[in-house]
Amino acid sequence: YEFMVPLVKGYSTEMSLEATDLGVQVHGGMGFIEETGAAQYYRDAKILTIYEGTTAIQANDLVGRKTARDGGQTAKAIASQIEATEKELAAGSDNAKAVAKRLKAAREAFVDVVDFIAAQSKADPNAAYAGSVPYLLLTGNLVAGWQLGRALLVAEKQLAAGHDTAFMKAKIATARFYADHILTRVPGTRDAIVDGAGSVTALALESF
């Protein structure tokens, strides 16, 4: 539960901002078109990312108290649960197999980052914290993909039983879309965190 708190406060609020930003793009065209209400949702979503501490504060909590403190053991325990879901998906339909492939790549990238943070938290704290916000977004992305993978498994069983066909098909399509278009962000974010810490701290403080 404690590991998930910064994800709920940080990742979900950042995603609400991204979703409402896209909403403005859909309904816009001549600035903020107020009659649709889209712009108000965007403004409302912005407060969420700073309301209970900024995203950076939540990210620092995830790095320090939730990952580095126990050497990444809690994070890796979650990764083990995700791996179990991957195995279920890999034995399923073509959609399930596709989600399993993306989920596996994301989980492996996550474990790489956890190892990096655990190793650097004492040796080079600046390197560990340089990628704190990307780490939060990566972790939230992975956990969301995991839960959608679990939802896909349930939806396929319900669909086979003839229950709520349209709803279950939508669940499956959503999980597949997320795996193909959102979960694929994780490996690149891993590279930015593990390989990019030096460029974050390269400039002298006087340069900011």
Rounded CA-CA distance 191/43 in Å is 32
Q: Exactly one of 52, 83, 86, 88 is catalytic; name it.
A: 52
Rounded CA-CA distance 168/154 in Å is 9
Residue 206 has which token pair? Answer: 């006087």
* 53 SS3 class: strand
Q: In sequence order, which residues have a C-beta less than 8 Å from that of residue 66 and are 6 or more positions away?
A: 2, 3, 5, 6, 74, 75
Question: What residue type is assigned to position 75 of the chain?
Answer: A
Outline where the chain has alpha helix (H).
5-6, 12-27, 38-51, 55-63, 73-90, 94-123, 125-130, 132-160, 165-181, 185-195, 197-200
- Beta carbons of 10 and 50 less than 8 angstroms apart: no
CB atoms within 10 A of CB 191: 13
Q: Active-site residue 206, yes or no?
A: no
Active site residues: 52
